[in-house]
Amino acid sequence: MKALIPRRVQIETVFGCPESCVMCAVHAPTGRTPGIMDIDTFNRIIANMKPWRDSIEMLDLVGLGEPLVDPTLTDKIIHAKREGFRNLAFTTNGVLLNDRRRNDILETGIETVIFSIYGSNQEIHDSVMITGHFDEIEHNIREMITLRDSRRHSTRFILIFIRQEANIDDWDNCVSRWWKHLNPTRRDMMIRYDRHSWGGVHKDFIDPWESACPSPCPVLSKRMTVLVDGTVPMCCMDAHRCRHRMGDIVRDDIATIYNNERFKDIRKRHEHGLMSSVPLCGTCTIHLSETSRITVS
């Protein structure tokens, strides 16, 4: 039987973030150690995925952390592209996106850079990103757009707005503030979706969700997450505590891990309507978040 290969792989190049946002799980208690993926580990992971690169449609260099903390981020992008991976992307809060980083990132030819935006004014922004930086973030993103447009780089930009209590009515204001700077002919877009519980980490945000969730969960057969040390957890929602250790992609190739008995057992339980027997899945609200998605393009 043909091996199942995820269409989208997410590599956590950094675990940790200097900022603090209320909906994020990065600072919630966990046994994991913050750190930056070293370049040798990254290159081994790329080598272990390379034979299946044509099946991998998107490579996200982000996990539970801020990718710009990593001084080797552009080296990693360049290496992955050189090895034939396509549709590279990463998500950033934009705080560390200084003049040199803007230029270096665009020079890599990365296909997509995703910016998180939190509010249309400082007050709303600071009630989500409690460490502030409203003016810096806006300046850095706008400078990056201007640089991209002036040099005709191919990178597209996506602005993500995670709707939550603090910014519940601010989406239209954000669209008015930002959309005029973006360029739909470059496939730029803005996306809004609702916050989720990070697999139950945010206990104040666990809703009854079974009726909203497709069964089996599509994340289990379409996406793979890789943590900063090469560990493969069950899914992106398992990044915070890694309760399900599915494999080590520094040691094994992607097909072996994604088709091992642990993955098969969890998929089978989902197929038989027993997903709440899988720790995490019973408290996951990712599908409520996905179904709330609105796009401007």
**Selected binder of ligand SF4 within 67, 199, 230, 247 (CB under 6 A):** 199
Strands 8-11 and 58-60: parallel
* 156 vs 185: CA distance, rounded Å: 10
Give the binding range for ligand SF4 (CB under 6 A) out of 1-9, 30-38, 87-95, 278-286: 278-286
- Quick note: the x/- pattern for ligand SF4 over 206-245, rule CB under 6 A, is -----------x-xx-------------xx-x--------
Give the CB-side neighbour count of residue 281, counting CA atoms within 13 A. Answer: 24
Q: Which lies closer to ligand SF4 via its Cβ, residue 128 or residue 234? A: 234
Q: Report the residue number, 117 or 234, with the smaller CB distance to ligand SF4.
A: 234
Residue 281 makes contact with ligand SF4 by CB under 6 A: yes
Instruction: Name which of 190 and 286 has its Cβ closer to ligand SF4.
Output: 286
**Cβ distance to ligand SF4 smaller for residue 44 or 223:** 223
CA distance 258 to 72: 27
Single out the segment in contact with ligand SF4 by CB under 6 A; choices: 20-28, 135-143, 224-232, 277-285: 277-285
- Minimal CB distance residue for ligand SF4: 284
* Tokens at 244, concatenated: 């399900």
Q: How far apart are CA 140 and CA 94, in angstroms?
A: 6
The size of the chain, in residues, is 297
Task: State which residue, 117 or 217, has the beta carbon closest to ligand SF4.
Answer: 217
- The distance in angstroms from the start CA to the end CA of the chain is 39
As given in the structure block, the two tokens for residue 23 are 């909906």
Q: Nearest approach, Cβ of 77 to ligand SF4 (angstroms)?
A: 26
Residue of 257, 284, 288, 289 interacting with ligand SF4 (CB under 6 A): 284
Q: Are 212 and 288 in contact (CB under 8 A)?
A: yes
Q: How far is the CB of 204 from ligand SF4 (least distance, A)?
A: 18
DSSP 190-232: EEEEE---TTTTSGGG----GGGS-SS-THHHHEEEE-TTSEE
CA 192 – CA 121 distance, rounded (Å): 17
Of 142 and 222, nearer to ligand SF4 (C-beta) is 222
Q: Binding residues for ligand SF4, per CB under 6 A? A: 199, 217, 219-220, 234-235, 237, 280-281, 284, 286
